[in-house]
Amino acid sequence: MKVIKVENLSKVYYLGSTKHNSLRDALVSFVRKPYSRSEKDKLLALQDVSFEVGDGETLGIIGNNGAGKSTLLKILSRITKPTSGTAELHGRVGSLLEVGTGFHNELSGRENIFLNGAILGMNRVEIEKRFDEIVAFAEIEKFLDTPVKHYSSGMYMRLAFSIAAHLEPEILIVDEVLAVGDVAFQKKCLNKMRDVSQSGRTILFVSHDMSAITRICNRAIALSDGKIVGEGLATDVVREYLSASWGMTAEQVFEIGKNPPASEFVRLEKVRIINESGETCGSHDIRRKIGIEATYEVLQSGKILLPNFQVYNQERVHLFTIQDVSGEWKRREKDKGRYVSTAWIPGNLMAEGSFFVNVAVVTYLPKMNVHFNASEVVSFDIADSMSGDTARGDYAGKMDGLIRPLVDWETRDLRF
């Protein structure tokens, strides 16, 4: 069943437009600017956006600032109207948009809980059943009867998320829940969103945290300049978005006449990121091994030539260097001809995220000689699933660290 159906949705804002409080103000505005608005005055926040979301799906919405994400959620939350097109939502909608949206500043936290429940169509008995859960999750017991205008942004966010998640709307709309609040509460939010999703409710989730999108969402859409530019599985959409944003590529071919990385002894022809089946692949499950494959031509015999790969994360932190030290080639000269070398990075070693690979060929005997070192030749991303058989287990929050190995554990009961 489709619980959300959006068709040809557009939203136009007019720059410099003002509201008129009286007929006189409107006439003065017309005298100052008698002609109709030009095309330059228009801001197309959304342009012919169409998509559907099924019952129980979690849809991620990604895109740069100004792409139209927040405008879309405001229309779906009935905060603003579209200029054209339609948006059908079947079921109660709980929204967590900007901090404070949906709150009455003069009312206390307690009163706002009942107000938001009433807006969702719930009666007082239904709200009271969930009241203690909401307060405990939000961690605002001491400030429950304080007007929310005195709350910090973090307290606002905690209460707003707790209300939206615990009053059990059929559709939960969340805009950047990770933007405000401490790390511990952000982790609580992600875990709660996972619980909401597993209970069969529908979630729309906007975030700039691509790892959170791939963990929480099964599908995603990417927006750019108000248009949908990508739609499909969350991991695929995130990979394409990052590729477009950062120029990421899983394969690089170097043509002879276009200054390929080379020395008098060796020339690089092609580099690929591959999966276990040997297919070029830029997006990988954290549990699967990843291959870095280099094809190169030896131009002169007489050197021990070793491929050398340096792996960096998206912050350009050097994670590790891998070099061919296998028994067959580490002391053996290569004859003239073409070769292909593949380094396999084991599954359950690296953390989720995006990564770049520098490619070099070196000779280290009798002394180190770098024949070439090409920067950021290929790239790939890794997604950590919620399968329960990775190093994160069943935990849905952000996990710090440059690597994430799945290690063997032993626990002995010392009570007996």
pLDDT tens sequence across 381-393:
898 876 778 888 8
- Is residue 243 a contact partner of residue 282, using CB atoms and an 8 Å limit? yes
Q: Are 227 and 328 within one domain?
A: no
Q: Has residue 351 been placed in a domain?
A: yes
Q: Are 50 and 124 within one domain?
A: yes
Domain boundary at 223, 246, 269, which?
246
CATH number of residue 320's parent domain: 2.70.50.60
Q: Are 47 and 192 within one domain?
A: yes
CATH number of residue 18's parent domain: 3.40.50.300
pLDDT of residue 20 exceeding 70, the answer is no
Give the integer Cα–Cα distance in Å for 127 and 113: 8
Give a three-class secondary structure readout of 324-340.
CCCCCCCCCCCCCEEEE
Q: Are 98 and 206 within one domain?
A: yes
User: Which pLDDT does position 330 carry in this prediction?
Assistant: 80
User: Which pLDDT does position 252 carry in this prediction?
Assistant: 94
Q: Has residue 401 been placed in a domain?
A: no
Residue 309: phi, psi to the nearest 5? -115, 130
Which DSSP helix (H) or strand (E) runs through 369? strand 369-383
- What is the domain count for the chain? 2
Give the integer Cα–Cα distance in Å for 139 and 133: 10
Model confidence band, residue 364 (pLDDT cutoffs 50, 70, 90): confident
Q: Has residue 395 been placed in a domain?
A: no
pLDDT of residue 24 exceeding 60, the answer is no
Q: Has residue 231 been placed in a domain?
A: yes
Listed as own residue / partner, the contacts of 153-156 with beta carbons closer than 8 Å and 24 or more positions apart are: 153/99, 153/180, 154/180, 154/181, 154/182, 154/185, 156/99, 156/100, 156/103, 156/180
Q: Are 169 and 55 within one domain?
A: yes
Q: Are 199 and 110 within one domain?
A: yes
Mean pLDDT in residue range 399-406: 88
Domain boundary at 192, 218, 246, which?
246
Amino acid at 360: A
User: Which pLDDT does position 302 carry in this prediction?
Assistant: 87
Tens of pLDDT, residues 170-212: 898 888 755 555 667 777 887 888 888 888 889 999 987 777 7
Which DSSP helix (H) or strand (E) runs through 28? helix 23-32
Smallest Cα–Cα separation from 309: which of 349, 368, 362?
Answer: 362
Q: Has residue 411 been placed in a domain?
A: no
Strand 202-206 and strand 58-62: the pairing is parallel
Q: Are 354 and 307 within one domain?
A: yes
Q: Has residue 408 been placed in a domain?
A: no
Angle of CA points 239, 261, 275, to nearest 5°: 35
Whole-number Cα distances in Å, 244 to 64, 193, 241: 11, 28, 5
Q: Are 348 and 255 within one domain?
A: yes
| Domain around 318 | 251-383
Q: Has residue 392 been placed in a domain?
A: no
pLDDT of residue 145 exceeding 60, the answer is yes
- Is residue 86 a contact partner of residue 8, using CB atoms and an 8 Å limit? yes
Q: Are 129 and 231 within one domain?
A: yes
pLDDT of residue 357 exceeding 90, the answer is yes
User: Which pLDDT does position 190 carry in this prediction?
Assistant: 79
Q: Are 241 and 271 within one domain?
A: no
- Environment class of residue 228 by beta-carbon count within 10 Å: exposed (0-12), middle (13-18) or buried (19+)? buried
Model confidence band, residue 16 (pLDDT cutoffs 50, 70, 90): low
Q: Are 80 and 32 within one domain?
A: yes
Q: Are 220 and 261 within one domain?
A: no
How confident is the prediction for the chain on average, in pLDDT? 85
Q: Has residue 415 been placed in a domain?
A: no
